[in-house]
Amino acid sequence: MLRIMEWKRTATQYVALLQVAERFEPGSIREIERHGPETILGGLLRGTDRIDWYALAYNRREVDFEEAREMARNTLERYRDEHSRL
């Protein structure tokens, strides 16, 4: 089950790391979805053909940190709902 492991801040984004990068094939992490100020980064899990989420990124010009935290919680809930049906 995905959870926020750590928050990072860049000059333009708040980034919620969901999994360690080592779980993914090298060079496979990229943008897989975008919804307004939110970008979902994902990649190919090592040894599989499955793409999974790596991080959630939020544009700092559009949301403050508390908004990003709330959006991330809601997005992870959606992820859990969608993947529990699989």
pLDDT in tens, 32-84: 999 999 999 999 999 999 999 999 999 999 999 999 999 999 999 988 888 77
Query: CA torsion, points 63, 30, 15, 2, in degrees to nearest 10?
Result: 110
Tokens of 42: 């994902």
Query: Is residue 71 helix, strand or coil?
Result: helix
Convert the pLDDT of each residue in 19-39 to its tens digit. 999 999 999 999 999 999 999
Query: Is residue 50 helix, strand or coil?
Result: coil
Task: Tell me: pLDDT of 86 over 60.
Answer: no
| Distances 1 to 11, 19, 56, 62 between C-alpha atoms, Å | 29, 10, 15, 28
